[in-house]
Chain A
Amino acid sequence: MDSTLGDLANSSACNAPLAIGNSDPARLLAQLRTMLLIRRAEEVIGEGVAARQVICPAHLGIGQEAIAVAVSEHLRGSDRVFGGHRSHAHYLALGGDLYPLLAEVLGKEAGCSRGMGGSMHLYAADKGLLGTVPIVAGTVPLAVGAALAAKKDGRGDVAVAYFGDGASEEGVIHESLNLAAVWKLPILFVCENNLFSSHLHISLRQPTDRIARFADGHRIPAVTLDGNDVVAVSRAAEDMIAGARGGAGPGFLEAVTYRWRGHVGHREDEDVGVDRGADLHLWKARDPVRRLADALIAGKMLSSDAYSALQADVDAEVMEAWRRARAAPYPPESHLLDRVYAEAGR
């Protein structure tokens, strides 16, 4: 394949501690904690899959945490965010509560979708997350409509559409980019390019690997960067979201990353037909969490002991929520029929 991403897609590159410059240490520590929370929550969900406690399809984004954390920093509750099948991070980064997420994954009534959606259907409207679905690219036109509504409202709210590189192979992405551009809508398209669609590497699916080329074709300003660099993604997202709020129209952020687990489930070697063992090993050195932690430790903003304490604190929070979620009740059978329409019954 003719790679235009270069080092961004090179598993041996971009693995040094982050260049944090003069970033606010408190903000970096908050980013680190949220990334650790997402990482640990997904590890525990993965353990639940392995133990057959989680039955619904669970698509883990371990290794991709920086993107959602960086983008969400610049969003507010009245913004409108839409995700896909791999959206635990989108939910948690927006401030969605941990316990309802874990309860949802377990099919419990206390879940963020009342136990009716599972891992692939997450909802936290008060934080701005209006929904996630596994139909690839399914929410992208919905986000365009939410941006249209935001433009009509005139209060400076924006929409965010998260999708992967595979979604760019769906026609509706192109319709959506076109509508957003021609109507100058306040929306940020965030492509988490992890180089795989299910088990297929991008070299087997597209003639080149930079997804932002589709934004170019629709005259949407685009940035392609290292998705495992929370500082860089945050800076780019801040600019693009501010632009959209101010009426500049849509933006396209392509964040190159890598998922450590298979397409679905907890295993690292699940992906049929793909032997990515050596590459995965190298990508783990591009860990977005470790690169930030290393930079903070090197910059004397965090001690090794404090980092260990932070990890223990996050682990305790996740395990406590997991225990509660496991013990929570399932939805009543009446929900089968009484949630089909807004008016219960017929």
Chain B
Amino acid sequence: MNRTSYGAAIREAFVYLLDHHPEVFVIGQGLWAKWYVGNTMTDLDKLYGPERIMDSPVSEQACTGAAVGASLCGYRPIVVHPRMDFMLYAMDALVNQAAKWSHMLGGQAHPAVTVRAIINRGGEQGAQHSQALHAWFAHVPGLRVVMPATPRDARDLLISAVLCDDPVLYIDDRWLYEWEEDLPPIVESPLEREGPRILRSGGELTLVGVGYSTRLCLQAAQSLATKGIQVEVIDLRVLNPLDPFTIVASVKRTGRLLVVDGGWRTCGMAGEIIACVSENLPLGMLKQSPRRLTLPDAPAPTSAPLERAYYFGESEIIQAVRALLG
């Protein structure tokens, strides 16, 4: 066991992949700079050289497309988008190309590309430096989407993503980079075996988080436990393809569901989880209507007081749990 932060855990995954898998290379903006991606890739260019750690022009679409192309030729590229907002230029490479090639070519071509997108918000960064668009991508068949919440997943899901033969979008969140955890040794695990995971057991309510909101859920659950309220916390981890049955089974036990998602409300991930549970739960098993806590349907503001109103925290989760418990 060694105490590792979420950010350092990502770097451990890169080191592991680059050491053990010669077909892995990394491409993206700012990879030779000190500040683009926090502490998650420090000095990788010096360790592995500029040909495996390729800093690139600001050409999101061509760089992502090039990674898709290289992945069709035996490589396992990782594309890094230091902010998810800029990745929208690469929608064609992700949605029309990477996600489709297996199906539309009859299962003969598999773009084994990993796209790492970073959610980087707060600090008055505003509407185009803050977005969490995971739900958009989870909508696309053929594109696997993972969001690690814990340091262990930050490391292990990146390794599983890169070793997967399908295109994977791996989304990490800078608000998690300082979270520390003891990590066991690395064991490679096929991504298709990964899914939602219960991080804390409890019988009164099921609390589902994704990425950073999972951490808030854990903090809220801990506070509630000191008041004698036991809630179950499930980390979604794999958004697409979605396996809702861990969550459904939990809600069968608790009868109450609160989904907490740091994305927008309309057509978002929280709505999808509630729909899956509603469809799969026998009538009458819910003690309360399910609820979701999300960002308001508005772009991120810049001004600090508006920012405080825009993002929710532990206290809003506790409030929502108490409301559901009546």
Contacts and interface: CB of A to CB of B under 8 A. Distances in A.
Contacts of B241: 341, 346
Contacts of A142: 65-66, 68-69, 72, 93, 97
Contacts of B63: 141, 175, 179
B106 A117 contact: yes
A61 interface: no
Contact of B104 (A117, A149, A159): A117
B61 interface: yes
A211 B73 CA distance: 29
Given A113-B105, A116-B106, A342-B110, A179 B59 contact: yes
A175 B62 contact: yes
Contacts of B65: 138, 140-142, 144-145, 172, 176
Contacts of A115: 106
B62 A179 contact: yes
A139 B241 CA distance: 26
B213 interface: no
B67 interface: yes
A343 B192 contact: yes
Nearest to B190: A343
A147 B70 CA distance: 8
A135 B92 contact: yes
Chain A: interface size category: 35 or more
Given A148-B70, A149-B69, A141 B93 contact: yes
Interface residues of B, number: 46
Nearest to A130: B72
B96 interface: yes
Contact of B67 (A114, A145, A159, A340): A145
Given A178-B59, A179-B59, A342-B166, A143 B69 contact: yes
Nearest to B164: A342
Contacts of A140: 65
B70 A341 contact: no
A131 interface: yes
Interface string B46-82: 0000010000110101111111111111110100000
Contacts of B142: 340-341
A135 B108 contact: no
A60 B59 CA distance: 32
B123 interface: no
A131 B101 contact: yes
B144 interface: yes
Interface in A154-178: 159, 171-172, 175-176, 178
A342 B108 CA distance: 9
A175 B93 CA distance: 13
Interface in B1-41: 25
Given A125-B108, A135-B92, A346-B243, A341 B166 contact: yes
B299 interface: no
Nearest to B77: A145
B106 A113 contact: yes
B169 to A, nearest CB: 14
Contacts of A176: 62, 65-66
B141 interface: yes
A146 interface: yes
B284 interface: no
Contact of B102 (A130, A139, A141, A340): A340
Interface in B155-179: 164-166
B103 interface: yes
B320 interface: no
Interface string A107-118: 000010111110
B105 A182 contact: no
Nearest to A146: B69
Given A130-B109, A144-B66, 12 more contacts: A80-B72, A114-B106, A117-B104, A130-B73, A135-B96, A142-B66, A144-B62, A171-B61, A331-B106, A341-B142, A341-B144, A343-B166
Interface of B: 25, 51, 56-57, 59, 61-75, 77, 92-93, 96-97, 101-110, 112, 141-142, 144, 164-166, 190, 192, 241, 243
Q: Sort A-B residue pairs by CB-CB distance and give the 6 closest, nearest first.
A: A114-B106, A145-B69, A141-B65, A145-B66, A175-B62, A142-B69
15 contacts: A114-B108, A116-B106, A123-B106, A130-B72, A130-B109, A139-B97, A142-B69, A146-B73, A152-B25, A175-B59, A175-B61, A179-B63, A179-B66, A339-B106, A339-B107
Interface of A: 80, 82, 111, 113-117, 121, 123, 125, 130-131, 133, 135, 138-150, 152-153, 159, 171-172, 175-176, 178-179, 182, 331, 335, 338-343, 346
